[in-house]
Chain A
Amino acid sequence: AQSVTQLGSHVSVSEGALVLLRCNYSSSVPPYLFWYVQYPNQGLQLLLKYTSAATLVKGINGFEAEFKKSETSFHLTKPSAHMSDAAEYFCAVSDSWGSYIPTFGRGTSLIVHP
């Protein structure tokens, strides 16, 4: 079984500040890990993914995430927040063997203040 925990349903930062969104996963097999972003009234857009290659993964819009097996974490960061980053962010895990069905966390709403 696999699961995802996103700490903090809301994260508020000032424009230009560091963004850190936390994600911890549980998986009985080597996982695939994803971060998706959802803008208001939109579907999900993939930000980045980890598939057992480099542990530091760079994504779109300046986001990156680091896979830490010892901590079972895949936290999302961005050095400098922009107003346009305000959205809902979802961490997801899928089974690297077989099912490929993504299991999502509950989401973190990123609020960016001017």
Chain B
Amino acid sequence: GEEVAQTPKHLVRGEGQKAKLYCAPIKGHSYVFWYQQVLKNEFKFLISFQNENVFDETGMPKERFSAKCLPNSPCSLEIQATKLEDSAVYFCASSQPSQRNTEAFFGQGTRLTVV
């Protein structure tokens, strides 16, 4: 598609439950990024993929967070045993770096509320 599609738009989970978020990058983009935005503040980088390979995961809290980008499937971000502090908007972005196109294109985000 021509835009990054994130589903669902809203997700409510009880503390300790699992949450799974999906992202379909723009067709032809080989890089996918996940960011966490808490309280409209900074965008915390979580993880990036180059195609289906993890490119950089320095921002991932590895104990409970995992992510995948498999061929012919939306990328996913999964949080096992959610905590209240995981409440945030999770943004996915994709890019296809070249001389002319260097920016990341963002989806509308998934708002996760942990209660």
Contacts and interface: CB of A to CB of B under 8 A. Distances in A.
B11 interface: no
A34 B55 CA distance: 21
Given A43-B91, A43-B107, A100 B97 contact: yes
A36 B37 CA distance: 14
Interface string A83-108: 00000101000101001111111110
A43 B41 contact: no
B95 interface: yes
B41 A51 contact: no
A44 B91 contact: yes
Interface residues of B, number: 25
B43 to A, nearest CB: 4
Contacts of A102: 33, 93, 103-104
Contacts of B4: 43
Of the candidates B95, B102, B105, B106, the one having the most CB atoms from chain A within 10 angstroms of its own CB is B102
B56 interface: yes
Interface string B75-95: 000000000000000010101
A104 B41 CA distance: 10
Nearest to A51: B102
B95 A100 contact: yes
B65 interface: no
28 contacts: A32-B103, A34-B103, A38-B40, A42-B108, A43-B91, A43-B109, A44-B93, A44-B106, A45-B106, A46-B103, A46-B105, A49-B102, A51-B102, A88-B40, A94-B102, A96-B102, A99-B48, A99-B55, A100-B31, A100-B97, A100-B102, A102-B33, A102-B93, A102-B103, A106-B41, A107-B40, A107-B41, A107-B42
